[in-house]
Structure 1
């Protein structure tokens, strides 16, 4: 056990893929590809929605929010993760660690909120199409976005700020390629029960409530669709929800897997924890642009933009 050090002077050591350090250069290739794909894909979608008047609709405004969270998550972890794999730069200061942790949590909460709003958008479009445009006006969508940002800041700031009060007198080696809240708490030799309670309090009204309301939204959507007599109409309406359902699955499955591994998979190899943790943050920003480009006007808008650049 080392001596106690003030939190602000601590330098944490991040971890790449334990046991596979000799292959970090090779491992960096797919990770670099994923980052480039996430950054380009989400940037193209944002640019298309901003510049194409035909995409100025509620569904695409929410999609622009989802792309913004994807960019935020990617940028929040890009430097530390590729720094480890390319240059073996593992050090991160306490303040930088808190900042990274806040932005990762913030964009995760925002992603959860936007997926809920997109479910609400589908529910309104299906159950009350005549009032859809009246309810989801541009100003109301902007208010929803601002409220989500404020909620995220108010909920997450205490959780991250309370780490400053802890003393860190054990190992300063973190077990991920980025600063993960439970990971940092484990290094403290101070009572962390308050931190755990505040962390739970922060995540339950955000991701927890969002997931319950998301499930409820789809129960209502399914009930509404089943009340439609024509099988062709049912199929057509359900097809408008496919992209969102896939996005929700891709977002929540890694999150649930990470939680289960941390709680029940303590005997699993360290690289399993690391790879699932990296997948949890990287896969949704990479796949969401692809999912929403397949069956929407986004694909045609992006092709139009790329074609105009060539000419």
Structure 2
């Protein structure tokens, strides 16, 4: 169990190749595990542009203020949530300064894991000592004098993760935009006054997004589950177990953990259940592919 206060996190601007995003980290998972994740608050500090691309991990983004251009005519507005499945392309993106967005990135249902920002930076630094980056390509000269080329993000992933980088075949053809205001509140059984909006359940691994509304003085009892669960306070104040909660705090329950969430003021709690990756399931009928520079696919867009 863990609670994160955004005021305790400094803004970092060196974790994105564009240099125009400020990140305030709330929660991080365990590196080198399929379940690795990061929860952060991102702010556009300048003009942000990104080509159409896709990832080998899953994402959720919730717009706290402003709006995001997702490409293909899709715009994610304040108060809306989007699920970006692994392997599904989106973009190009073009946004001015100003938007503030909750970003969740985590190892997807194929089990490739998630390369943390620290792993990405360390991998790039290590490769830079042995070769050089030219645009999207990494070049290294061998002992025989021959120069080998590799898509830069592939090389960084291999350096950091010890395996080839693969992009899974997309389960969904495009990102899934959700407008929580359009959902109806449903009562949570045997939890007086507590209500829930199930925003969506995705993939065979059970990725879930929901919102709980806890009236002042009421308690949400979170029972043990197999999945890692992450929460973000949209509004209100209260306690997550013994820890204080406030607006834009993050909270985490690991598999098997339970917690009581008590509201001092009405709490709106955005929640996520990460995919269950410990089961030994069959592979997809469609092959994963290694990204190449000519498809404008990048995975270093933390």
TM-score category, normalised to shorter length: under 0.3
Higher relative contact order (CA 8 A, sep 6+): 1
More helix by share: 1
TM-score (structure 2 length as normaliser): 0.24
* Rg larger in structure: 1
TM-score (structure 1 length as normaliser): 0.23
